[in-house]
Amino acid sequence: MLKRSLILVSALTLLCSSLLFNVSAQDAPPPTPEEVAAAAADTRQALFKLLRHNLGPIAGMARGAPFDAAIAERNARRIAAIAPMIPELLTPDTRGFDLETEALNKIWEGNLEDIGVKAQALVDAANTFAGIAAAGDMAATLGAFRSLGGACANCHDVYRVDNN
Ligand code: HEC
């Protein structure tokens, strides 16, 4: 009797786990190429939003907002820390998908190496800027802003839809 109920229990367990497996397999079908491309575009755009989030206060100081050397340095170091992800997140080729994107097709026409060069130029500019901000001199720091912002524009001018 005991043996029989054990067999019943294990059979039920097997049934349940195979049902669960089927349910979760149905819940998560493999993503379509469109979904993969949309996720890649979302991720890279999130990185660029973070770059803007950090550059924004520095640009504000350059336009006359109260100078804060610590924030200028901190944000530039953040930019230097996350900008190396640009080439990685621009590597997935999303040409030909119906996406919300400002990325130009020519990124994926043999230019990923140049994307790497431009991303590294941003890292270098951000590190240089952070070093200057760390010394705390307002005029010197704001004077260095142009080359930091310029490192963003140098890439946008070539690889992003011209919208500004
Ligand atoms: C190596 C190239 C490159 C560099 C460097 C770069 N960007 Fe971009 N950026 C792009 C591309 C390409 C897009 C378009 C992405 C898309 O729409 O899929 C973009 C988009 C953006 C967007 C729009 C994001 C959105 O969809 O809401 C912002 C904001 C932005 N960049 C800010 C910056 C800032 C700030 C910097 C410098 C600190 C910077 N970028 C440096 C290539 C670059």
Q: What is the percent of the chain with per-residue pLDDT over 70, rounded to a whole number?
A: 83
Contact 75, 55 (CB under 8 A): yes
Q: In the chain, what percentage of residues exceed pLDDT 90?
A: 81
CA dihedral of residues 92, 97, 99, 102 (deg, nearest 10): 60
CA of 135 to the centre of ligand 1 (A): 29
Q: Is 44 exposed, middle or buried, given 0-12, 13-18 or 19+ CB atoms closer than 10 A? A: buried
Is the pLDDT at 9 greater than 80, yes or no? no
- Residue to probe by mutation, ligand 1, list 152, 159, 163, 164, most atoms within 8 Å of CB: 152
Q: What is the pTM of this model?
A: 0.86
pLDDT single digits (tens) 54-108: 999 999 999 999 999 999 999 999 999 999 999 999 999 999 999 999 999 999 9
Q: Is 44 in the pocket of ligand 1 (CB under 6 A)?
A: yes
Q: Using pLDDT thresholds of 50, 70 and 90, give the confidence band for residue 3.
A: low
Ligand 1 pocket: which of 44, 48, 91, 93 to mutate (most atoms <8 Å of CB)? 48
Give the C-alpha separation, 123 to 81, whole Å. Answer: 8
Please give the single-letter amino acid code of residue 47. L
pLDDT for 162 equals 84
Which CATH superfamily, name and number, covers 33-159?
Cytochrome c/b562 (1.20.120.10)
Q: How many A from CA of 143 to the centre of ligand 1?
A: 23
129 lines ligand 1 (CB under 6 A): no
What confidence score (pLDDT) does residue 144 get? 96
